[in-house]
Homo-oligomer: A and B are copies of this chain.
Amino acid sequence: MNTPSYNIAAVERDTGLSKDVLRMWERRYGFPVPERDANGERLYPAAQVERLRLIKRLMDQGHRPGKLIAAPAEELATLAPRRTRDVVAAAAPATADDLDELIEFIRQHDAPGYQQAMQQRLVRQGLQAFVQDTVAPLTRQIGEAWEDGSIEVFEEHLFTELTKRLLRQAIATLPGSRRPRVLLTSVPDEPHVLGLLMVEALLALEGAECIPLGTQMPLLEISRAAEAHAADVVALSFSVAFPQRQIGGLVSHLRQTLAPETALWIGGGGIRRLAPQAGVALLPELPDATRALQQWRSEHP
């Protein structure tokens, strides 16, 4: 295992810190201090990139960069996750115990074992309970484990990939041909699809016609797609990782370009602090999706 150097674009890719931020930190805090190549361009040693990744992860947990960068290396390693009030409140009611078994499969990198255990639960609980009582809390726990560093990035990726497959497989068996016609997608820079799949499963169970467009649709395309498919509802998902401040603007922007008769449903962990808007339904919890569906149907007989 060698230690090659990263240019600033590579560091942005691998850490998620923008070039602007990397240069700003260097100017303000004196870290990172990359070397320079023959052209005076920054070259980051692998060790600094590694430290930046750690700092980024702790930042995502609520720590502030100024403190983190000042702290010595040993201190960073021992830093506990620092949750916001909202997250703590949401985390508390998780029915943890029997989910640990599932997480243990992921920690052991035992993909077949995980798939089999999940499949069993799906058959035993039925799709609705499986989504609400297994997949949703499990996803939350994985998120927490990722935050406190007890799970690796690639373990989280494996979990996501395997769980996606399970949900899609389950959804494929459902017909879904009644109104409303629901278009499911996410905005650019929001790649998380698990939440959308969970909602799709619940809606498809109620017979709704779901049109899954995957993630990261440009806003204008969402409007076009809604028109082309004559969608009754556009459902968007924002994960907790999505920059909170952008959501409000994005949503009102989309609401303006969307036909007024098309409903707009917004869900996911990212919307807890979002202010209500006219013409936009906020669905912070999974059961809200089922409720919104029933309400839509009662209003469109």
Q: Which of A50-81 contact B (CB under 8 A)?
A: 50, 53
- Whole-angstrom distance from the CB of A35 to the nearest CB of chain B? 16
Q: Which of A142-166 contact B (CB under 8 A)?
A: 152-155, 157-158, 160-162, 164-165
Does A1 touch B at the CB level, under 8 Å?
yes
Chain B residues positioned under 8 Å from A112 (CB to CB): 177
Give the complex CA separation of A157 and B161 in angstroms.
Answer: 18
Q: Which B residue sits closest to A50, measured CB to CB?
A: B220
Judging by beta carbons under 8 Å apart, are A213 and B161 in contact?
Answer: yes
Chain B residues positioned under 8 Å from A211 (CB to CB): 109, 111, 158
Judging by beta carbons under 8 Å apart, are A4 and B257 in contact?
Answer: yes
Set B152, B169, B224, B259: member contacting A221, Cβ < 8 A: B152
Stretch at the interface among A133-141, A185-193, A273-281: A185-193
Chain B residues positioned under 8 Å from A217 (CB to CB): 153-154, 157
Judging by beta carbons under 8 Å apart, are A160 and B14 in contact?
Answer: no
Set B153, B161, B222, B253: member contacting A218, Cβ < 8 A: B153
Give the complex CA separation of A223 and B253 in angstroms.
Answer: 41
Chain B residues positioned under 8 Å from A185 (CB to CB): 157
Greatest chain B CB density within 10 A among A161, A188, A256 is at: A161
Chain B residues positioned under 8 Å from A214 (CB to CB): 157-158, 160-161, 164
Q: Mark A202-220, 1 if CB is under 8 A from B, else 0.
A: 0000000001111011111
Judging by beta carbons under 8 Å apart, are A161 and B212 in contact?
Answer: yes
Does A172 touch B at the CB level, under 8 Å?
yes
- Whole-angstrom distance from the CB of A116 to the nearest CB of chain B? 12
Give the complex CA separation of A112 and B229 in angstroms.
Answer: 13
Chain B residues positioned under 8 Å from A256 (CB to CB): 1-2, 4
Chain B residues positioned under 8 Å from A155 (CB to CB): 228
- Whole-angstrom distance from the CB of A229 to the nearest CB of chain B? 5
Q: Which B residue sits closest to A165, measured CB to CB?
A: B168
Query: A224 and B154 in contact (CB under 8 A), knowing A168-B168, A253-B4, A256-B4?
Result: yes
- A sample of 26 cross-chain residue pairs with beta-carbon separation below 8 angstroms, ordered by A number, consists of A1-B223, A2-B257, A13-B218, A14-B188, A14-B220, A50-B220, A109-B211, A109-B229, A112-B177, A152-B225, A153-B217, A153-B221, A154-B217, A154-B222, A154-B225, A155-B228, A157-B185, A157-B217, A160-B214, A161-B214, A162-B212, A165-B168, A165-B171, A169-B169, A169-B172, A191-B216
Q: A1-B259, A15-B218, A154-B224 are in contact. List 9 more A-B contacts (CB 8 A).
A: A1-B223, A4-B256, A14-B188, A14-B218, A14-B220, A153-B218, A154-B222, A162-B212, A168-B169
Which 10 residue pairs spanning A and B have beta carbons closest together? A154-B225, A2-B256, A161-B214, A13-B188, A14-B218, A157-B213, A153-B221, A157-B214, A161-B212, A165-B168
